[in-house]
A and B are shown apart, each in its own frame.
Chain A
Amino acid sequence: MKAKIHITLKSGILDPQGKAIEHALETLGFKSASNVRMGKYVELDLKETTKDRADAEVKAMCEKLLANTIIEEYRYELAG
């Protein structure tokens, strides 16, 4: 089973990288882009084949290491 994990700064927390990207997009003429949020993407294979257990395992990984829940939020998809 494959997990695709997205980690971003919580809404409301200033994202300096997102802001810089937004300014760059604006400079390039992409005027319609706003609220750019920069994040991390982690992909991993799981030995676990039961969806419920895989879900619990990935959630624990996110809480313990992959995201810092003081500043970040995460979401993931399980497939395969």
Chain B
Amino acid sequence: MNFGVIVFPGSNCDHDCIHVISSVLGQKATPVWHKETSLTGLDAVILPGGFSYGDYLRTGAIARFSPVMGAVKTFASEGGMVLGICNGFQILLEAGLLPGAMLRNRSLSFICKDVHIKVENAATPFTGHCESGQVLKIPIAHADGNYYTDPVTLAALQANAQIIFRYCTPEGKVTLEANPNGSLDNIAGIRNAEGNVLGMMPHPERCAEDVLGNDAGRLIFLSMLDALKKAMLKTATV
């Protein structure tokens, strides 16, 4: 499978993603410069973490107008899998591919540490390798991860099982204390209504192999790979 990793000016987790795709999953990883206008030949697209455009104005606010984002929107509307990690999540929100917005962390601090997240929905192309309710330890590294949306949208996210990850204790309890940034409803990751676009603040690409002492993040990438293979099988048998 061919995973495209979008490179914005200021992306800094692009090579981590490329490494995981190629060295850990053994798949093809294609860096895609933000000025590209076509995503032809790609099976999935990842918007990596970083500080695109220096986080000027708001996180992701300027990157969302990069030429490549038109192609990302088309790719997503045609059912292509799109994963946004950290700044990638913020860009997807600004682009309107996911609902809501990010506020500054409640503590005002940039937080860089391992957190625990609960897999609230394992029946997605991004979490197929996880168990429902499974607790993953994955690092976060952000200053703006305080997810916000209006009450109507939040109710829809809850009703449609679009909240995929919630911050929790190591035991899997979703509590106020386990919420690192003040995020609404402890939200760490959401998907769109169609289910093919996921945004998450934690960085699975930073913990996807044994040598790093934690390979929980690999589950996300393996899930994506499996979903792509299944989709291909389905297309082949139709």
Tell me the A residues contacting B by CB distance below 8 Å.
Answer: 9, 13-14, 16-17, 20, 40, 65-66, 68, 70-71
Stretch at the interface among B74-82, B104-112, B197-205: B104-112
- With contacts A13-B148, A20-B108, A71-B101 taken as known, whether A66 is within 8 angstroms of B182 at the C-beta atoms is no
Q: Which residue of A lies closest to B107 (CB)?
A: A16
- Residues of chain A lying within 8 A (CB to CB) of residue B108: 16-17, 20
B148 touches A71 (CB 8 A): yes
> Distance (Å) between the CB of B6 and the closest chain A CB?
20
Given contact pairs A16-B107, A68-B61, a sample of 10 additional A-B residue pairs in the complex whose CB atoms are under 8 Å apart: A14-B103, A14-B182, A16-B104, A16-B106, A17-B108, A20-B108, A40-B57, A65-B61, A68-B58, A70-B149
- Residues of chain A lying within 8 A (CB to CB) of residue B62: 65
Q: In the complex, A14 Cα to B148 Cα: how many Å?
A: 10
Interface string of B65-95 (1 = CB under 8 A from A): 1000000000000000000000000000010
A65 touches B65 (CB 8 A): yes
Residue among A13, A20, A71 with the highest chain B CB neighbour number at 10 A: A71
Tell me the B residues contacting A by CB distance below 8 Å.
Answer: 57-58, 61-62, 65, 94, 100-101, 103-108, 146, 148-150, 182
Q: In the complex, A68 Cα to B64 Cα: how many Å?
A: 12
Chain B contact surface mostly: loop
B107 touches A68 (CB 8 A): no
- Which 6 A-B pairs give the minimum distances between C-beta atoms? A70-B101, A71-B101, A16-B108, A16-B104, A68-B101, A16-B106
Residue among A13, A16, A20, A66 with the highest chain B CB neighbour number at 10 A: A16
> Distance (Å) between the CB of B182 and the closest chain A CB?
7
Residue among A20, A66, A70, A71 with the highest chain B CB neighbour number at 10 A: A70
Q: In the complex, A71 Cα to B58 Cα: how many Å?
A: 11
> Distance (Å) between the CB of B17 and the closest chain A CB?
26
- With contacts A13-B148, A16-B107, A71-B148 taken as known, whether A65 is within 8 angstroms of B100 at the C-beta atoms is no
- With contacts A16-B182, A17-B108 taken as known, whether A71 is within 8 angstroms of B103 at the C-beta atoms is yes
- Residues of chain B lying within 8 A (CB to CB) of residue A71: 101, 103, 148
A70 touches B104 (CB 8 A): no
Q: List 21 A-B contacts (CB under 8 A).
A: A13-B148, A14-B106, A14-B182, A16-B104, A16-B105, A16-B106, A16-B108, A17-B104, A17-B108, A20-B108, A40-B57, A65-B61, A65-B62, A66-B57, A68-B58, A68-B61, A68-B101, A70-B149, A70-B150, A71-B101, A71-B148
Q: In the complex, A66 Cα to B149 Cα: how many Å?
A: 19
- Residues of chain A lying within 8 A (CB to CB) of residue B148: 13, 70-71
Q: In the complex, A20 Cα to B105 Cα: how many Å?
A: 12
Q: Which residue of B lies closest to A69 (CB)?
A: B101
Q: In the complex, A63 Cα to B12 Cα: how many Å?
A: 29
